[in-house]
Chain A
Amino acid sequence: MIQCKTSKEIGGMGHSLKRKEDIRFIQGKGHYVDDVKLPGMLYMDIVRSPYAYAKIKKINIEEAMKVPGVVAVVTGKDLEKYNLHWMPTLMSDTQMVLPTDTVMYQAQEVAAVIATSKYAARDGREAVKVEYEPMKPVIDPFKSLDPGAPVLRSDKEGKKDNHIWHWEVGDKNKTDDVFAKAEVVVKEQMHIPRIHVASIETCGCVADYDKVNNHLTMYMTTQAPHAIRTVIALVAGHVGLTEEKIRVISPDIGGGFGGKVPVYPGYVIAIAVSFLVGKPVKWIEDRSENLQADSFARDYHITAEMAGTKDGKILATRFKILADHGYTDASANPSKFPTGMFSVATGSYDYDTTYMECDAVYTNKPPGGVAYRCSFRVTEAVHAIERITDRYALEIGKDPAELRLQNFIKKEDFPWKSPTGWIYDSGDYHKGLLKAMDTVNYHQLRAEQAEKRKRGELMGIGISTFTEIVGAGPSKDFDILGIKMFDSAEIRVHPTGKAIARFGTKSQGQGHETTYAQIIAEELGIPAENIQIEEGDTDTAPYGLGTYASRSTPTAGAAAAVAARKLRDKARKIAAYLLEVSEDDLEWEPGKFFVKGAPEKSKTIQEIVFASYTNHPPGMEAGFEATHYYDPPNLTFPSGAYICVVDIDKETGAIHVRRFVAIDDCGNIINPMIVQGQVHGGLTQGIAPAMYEELIYDEAGNILNGTFMDYLVPTAVESPKWETGHTVTPSPHHPIGAKGVGESPTVGAPPAIANAIVDALSPYGITHLDIPITPFKVWKALKEKGVV
């Protein structure tokens, strides 16, 4: 059980406080973007390309303009007049808002229809006639660099091929040397396929430009409202929309998972139209548009190699990646990290040699890459290291749990410098794995498996012991568009001792309204219930970089604690004044200061706050509020030990996940109920790519499963009953010792599942299968080996 310092009434750290936000959601009183209704509001629908790569010969809008209710049709040529037809991406590339001559992927925005109702806008969309001249697209990233391949980005001056960038880290010569001399070398080619976050709420906005006041209010589904405000100002400042004239409001968000970080063309078009017609414009994409055109995740082709000794000592790793970024590099990374945090791929293991390289290429697909609880490509990194570690164990005939225990970085070796330069803050990997093994009864399972193998039955056990890297990040390395990746909190306590606090992050269901209040409750002793938390309105909340990559607790959570501590210092001064003692004579316990040795002489936080408005010490500023912008000294490195047990039907390939045990370590826990909920959801988003989800394109660039009919989001039936638990290894640099956790389960789960399935099939010489591992894939692999 988790020890709490505060009473249940205060509800600080460690309490499984029920969520404040639930009361509106369970009664249909949430306020999501599509719930916004403004006087005179128009509706926008988007004409999209049926081709992956084509010249636009002509856009005929005549018929559309005759549709009752249609007020305008906007094309790229219209936006070009205002220089709004292209926009910058977070990776210093450029992305079309609306094309003027060429479409680059199927479902790309081609024109926008504005009408007085949703239905009229859709009618108008059907009436727009576009003439295309289709061209042969580049779909396979391996062919993208062929000499004969068409140069997709001929709009970029001097661009002669489809190569975007090359990245590398580590010591190539040393690594090659270790590999050349190693007793054992294993190698697998893996594809981490393209998937989609598919939050149940799609993306959308209401752009409301007020001509009289030259002011834009933008309600939108965004995980990073402040950064978006700055981006809008950068894109549209030249037409008069400067930053103080823009208010971005990110209301309740129906799930984000990284899919609501980027700026999509739809938002920009809605702003442009509202600016031109002077009325509010609503754009809400439907599910098919969301799956087909919004930011994808993953799509890394990785050659993973591991070198080691015969008895199981890992010596080196080598990773070579081909990254498919679609037609522009719009992946939502910190600007100095084109492959995100992939370089954490050395994993939880103690060795000092690695080399990693990545080449990114353009293809005729939508842009994206970083999304879906990936922590900036850590999903890919962890998949690579955890799969290749298992492959190594298989090669030398060693139990994969034992191999991991043998190679783990030891508890006492933290802070530990990884071969690619990360300073892992803390960890106790042995404890985590042993707890997971104990929970699942590992050795008994192996015995059962041996029995079953004798009978030809397929049972597999898969392990994933991962290290995450979250909480970007320290200003010396981390920025988005030059803005350092700090985050912020602003706490204001009212005269009667109740508080309002605002943050630069933005919850999309992670429970910030509850957990941030708990942090402040912990520090100040004001009941969490009496602390109102707000995020998402750029006019009121302090500037922050938003919520993604599990950064809220590491950054804004830290800011909350630091701001609260500033207030506690002030409270101590006021208490000393009121009690007529020196500050040093005071002792704090949650909720009050008392005089050392005379506990009956005390002042509660409520009395102290009241005094700050009614009777503040001479020379001190009145009131009781504090702000902090927190620049993290390091990232946080949560970890986990996951074990998955599967049974496979030989005849059909059907995979049954019998058990899944997840032990997470995210340091000190703010709210166990919420952490567990994050883990459940994240594990389901781990089984999804491992077994069900993939965006599939044919050679012509048609998406083959762009709706929920065949993009298989798991239901309650597919989702296993998750068994969850924790160990606590606090982050030494974080004010409350907490680490991020939201993405750990999605990062950690897929290799545990893949390892379990491959483990089940390994007696038949199967050493690797790419995710998603479907019954058909299993059956086919068994068929090829002559087993069925």
Chain B
Amino acid sequence: MLKQITVTVNGVQHTLEVEPRLLLVHMIREVLNLTGTHIGCDTSSCGACTILLDGKSIKSCTVLAVQANGKSITTIEGVAQNGELSPLQEGFKENHGLHCGFCTPGMILRATELLANNPNPTEEEIRWGIAGNLCRCTGYNNIVKAIQYAGAKMRGDELPSTEPEFV
């Protein structure tokens, strides 16, 4: 029993026939071939699958594709505009906020909403703000720096140093 849905993904409208049980993350990865969104768990814990659904960060492994009917989705592939990196993408690169890169798409999308709601977060607010996203490689310090860097860039403040504080 397939259901027809219409979703806008990174600005492009798609009309798809999907099984009601199809998870949104699988629709994104398997049906639309947008493989930047990752799967890191089976209990909604890791956040590697985080995307924006109508501007809100959600774990796409925990939403059915049919629930996205009529909604608008942003995945990591839709973050850069006209080939220009978003402040967060730039922040992650400049501050070494990624190693293996597996959590990175989810982190960036989660942080996109975080900064939209709170343009100048404290370190503690950032850490709590990304507590739904696990990273096994970076130890988070540089992710915090990356988000601070992006916040500064978006506010038009002076950019913080990206030199490692390696005494």
Interface residues of A (CB under 8 A from B): 16, 18-19, 21-30, 32, 34-35, 37, 118-119, 197-202, 252-257, 286-288, 435, 439, 508-511, 663, 672-685, 707-709, 713, 715-717, 719, 721-726
Contact = CB atoms under 8 A, between A and B. Distances in A.
Contacts of A21: 101
A683 B92 contact: no
Contacts of B108: 26
B99 interface: yes
A536 B96 CA distance: 23
Interface string B124-142: 0011101111111111111
Contact of A680 (B75, B80, B102, B142): B142
Interface string B79-108: 110000100010011101011111111001
B140 A684 contact: yes
Contact of B33 (A37, A508, A511, A723): A37
Given A201-B100, A709-B45, A717-B127, 15 more contacts: A16-B164, A26-B85, A26-B93, A35-B35, A201-B38, A287-B45, A509-B101, A680-B141, A708-B42, A715-B127, A716-B133, A716-B140, A716-B143, A719-B139, A721-B141
Contacts of A708: 41-43, 45-46, 134
Nearest to B33: A37
B136 A198 contact: yes
28 contacts: A16-B163, A25-B98, A26-B108, A27-B80, A28-B75, A29-B77, A32-B35, A254-B102, A255-B100, A286-B42, A287-B45, A510-B99, A511-B99, A663-B167, A676-B164, A677-B138, A677-B139, A677-B142, A680-B141, A681-B99, A681-B137, A684-B139, A684-B140, A685-B139, A715-B131, A716-B133, A716-B140, A716-B143
Interface centre among B30, B33, B143 (most CB of A within 10 A): B30
Interface residues of B, number: 64
B119 interface: no
B41 A32 contact: no
A168 to B, nearest CB: 35
B136 A681 contact: yes
Contacts, number: 211
A286 B139 CA distance: 23
A724 B167 contact: yes
B36 interface: yes
Interface centre among A25, A672, A713 (most CB of B within 10 A): A25
A722 B33 CA distance: 38
Contact of A27 (B33, B38, B77, B126): B77
- List the 5 shortest-distance A-B pairs measured between CB atoms, nearest first: A28-B36, A25-B101, A509-B100, A254-B102, A680-B139
Nearest to A678: B99
A663 B42 CA distance: 37
A532 B138 CA distance: 24
B123 to A, nearest CB: 8
A645 to B, nearest CB: 17
B127 A716 contact: yes
Nearest to A436: B167
Contacts of B37: 28
B40 A119 contact: no
A119 B21 contact: yes
Nearest to B108: A26
B144 interface: yes
B102 A201 contact: yes
Contacts of B166: 672-673, 675-676, 724-726
Contacts of A724: 164-167
Nearest to B101: A25
Interface centre among B22, B36, B93, B102 (most CB of A within 10 A): B102
A553 B125 CA distance: 37
Given A118-B26, A724-B166, A34 B35 contact: yes
A681 B142 CA distance: 10
B91 to A, nearest CB: 9
B96 A673 contact: yes
Given A28-B35, A32-B38, A35-B35, A677 B99 contact: yes
Contacts of A679: 139
B48 interface: yes
A674 B96 contact: yes
A509 B167 contact: no
A26 B138 contact: no
A21 B101 CA distance: 9
Contacts of A510: 99
B64 interface: no
B128 to A, nearest CB: 6
